[in-house]
Structures are given as structure tokens and as C-alpha cells.
Structure 1
């Protein structure tokens, strides 16, 4: 039985609810400093994943094609619409006065949605539990996520708690599909997949820390492309 995705979802839900409830009671200096730390942690995790790369051309090509597809289908804009929908739903159950500028809300919501739902840690953790029933990676992610969700919820409100729903669905799908996918993968394919996730995590960290607003949502198709491209590259070029 899968338990990691449910624990991780509960962590985001609880963190989001607690952070939104306490809101302004959390010191401003803490609300400013911790997101910088989360951004730094995301960048560090991204670098740790990138070093597992097998073929740099494969990952770069996947990121370029993935970004092109994401731009053409306005993927990040659609994710932003999902965020605003979540904000609207959450506002029905809270006294949020909508003081946060919609553009600022979308900017931050997209970044944390990718951080929670499409991080290399979550994807790899879900795949690992699906294959080996070892949920330790997702347990570690849950510890980080409960604090991350709480801090961002002080700014974005109860909408952060709703991220638990798509995160749970994504992780359950990945864990269920892992039994079918992983037997057909190679260490080279997994290395390139992990590295692609690392690049996205690095870009997410820059965005969260306010250094550079990479369109991380538009990069997500790269995670779908990188394994097939890695296989074809190894088959026909190396």
C-alpha cells in the first residue's frame, strides 16, 4: 500500500492551513528570510541532482524542446489560472481581503506549485516507493514541505493548502506507473531524467529567492521528453 504520497499531501495541507491561520502573527523577518532559505535549498537540491547527469546534450535538448512546447501551449499561464482558481475557492472559506496583487500571487503560486508537485525529490520518491515500497524519500520531503507550505501560506493564504490535491494525484499516478516504467529504463535514462529535474529545481530556486523569474512551469514537458530522447541518443549516437 502506498503511504508516502498521503503523508506528503497531509504535510502540505497541514502546513498551508497553519500558515494561513497564523498569517500576520508570524514575524515579518521570518516570512522574508525563510523563502530565501527555501530558494537556496531548492538550488542546492537541483545541483545535487544535476551531477547525476549521463548526457548533457540530451538534457539540454529536452529542456529546450520542453520549454518550446510549454511556451506554445501557454502551460505556465494555465498553471497560473489553476492557482487563481484555488485562490477563489480558498477565499470562500476565509476572510482574505485579496490584498495581494493578482500578478504577484500568480508569480509565487506557480513557483511553489512546481516546487511541491514537480520537484525531482517528489517524482523520484514516488517512483522509488512504487518500485520498492520504500517511502523514506517522500517522508523527508514531507518534513521540508510542512514548513515550506506554512511560510508561503502566510503570504498566499489558504490556496497553498489546496496544492495538496494535485500533488497527491501526481505522486499516486507516478508511483502506480513506476512498476510499468522502471523495468524499461536504464541507469543512463534515469540519470538524465534526474538531471532534468535538477535543472528545473535550480530554476525554481532562483525564482523563489527572487533572483530571476524563470518560467519554470513551461519547462515541465522536458520531464516527459528526456527519457525517450536519452534512449534514442544512446541507441543511435552512443
Structure 2
């Protein structure tokens, strides 16, 4: 399983998910995307092509293990996983997406490329969690330049959603203050996957992999992987 963290975050948001998969006998690779995990200044210098390139290289490492590979992630991690399925769908056995992002819900988001020169950062978007005692590891500020790069990723990924044909397991929070459920609706309508299953998370906000419904995601992922592997082996 190739797990991808979200925008401004790091693999710590994937760790409980990855540990559950490991305990279920599934190999896990969770790369740190370029620019992430450090200061907002480092993130501001990175480009979406670098983020995707890291995930693309991680897929090669996963394939080298000689087993079917599934990919997925949270938020932007879902965006990048979808892009991977568009470009290398033949190398993937399926996707698991948690509150994936594919479009800009912010009314002034299109101004980001220009605003970055006069307003380099905005407040951190991390830790949208229902659990009061949990914090997500993120940059202390959100660089506008990096957000402009995220919009570019969506711009190239959304039109090519019909290229995605792999099975998809989708988890969407009923209340998400970062990514609206419209994103998942657009993804479902855009892909050509015949096997799509969705679960609504009623007790979690955006960072659902660290929230109350995390066990549903973790157990659902294992069930999804086992079901897809059984199908590929012809086992009912």
C-alpha cells in the first residue's frame, strides 16, 4: 500500500493507517513529499511536479517488491493518487481515498499566483479534527505559492479523471472544514471505475485518519484490498 499525506502535512498523518495495514500483513510505503515536513518557506519553493515525482518513484519501489500495489491518501494525497492512476493505472490494483481534493472551493483561490507576492502566507489549514486531544503535524503557516501549485495539480488532474478505471474505496467526512464533499462527488462522476464504494464518516472532520472514524478507514482498507486480491485470483 502506497500512502500519501496531504498538503502542508507529513507522513505522521498516515502512520496509524500504515501501522494497521502492516499488522494485517500488508507492506506500506509512505513517502515525505518534497517541501513538506519543514518550514513554510521550504514548502513555498516546491512544485507539484516534485510532489508527484516522489509518489511516482515510490510506486516503482513498491512494484519492486513483487506484489500488487494499491495507492491512496488523504486530501491532496488523494489528488496525487488519482494523478498516479491517470498516468500509471496499469501498475495499480486500486485506490483508497480519504476526503480527496480535486477542485478549489475558495472563491478567491484563482488569485493565489498573484497574491503570493504581497501575502506570502495565510493561517495554517492543519488539524481539522473532531478529536480535541489530537494535533496534525503541519507547517505553522500555509504558503500561498504552494497553494497555487496545488491548484495547478487540480487543473491537470480533473480533466483526466476519465482515465481512472481502477477500483476505488472512498471515505468522506460528513463535516469537513477544509475540503467539501463536492470534491468526492466530482471524482465519482469523473472517473470510469466500475467498482466504487463510498463510506460517510459521521464523527470525523478533514483529517479523518487521525480522528474518531479512523478504525473504519483502516479496517475498510484491509477489507477492500483483500476483496480485490480475491477477485484477481478468481476467488469468490
Normalised to the residue count of structure 2, the TM-score between the two structures is: 0.29
Larger strand proportion of the pair = 2
Alignment TM-score, normalising by the size of structure 1: 0.29
Q: Greater relative contact order: 1 or 2 (C-alpha under 8 angstroms, separation 6 or more)?
A: 1
Structure with more helix by fraction: 1
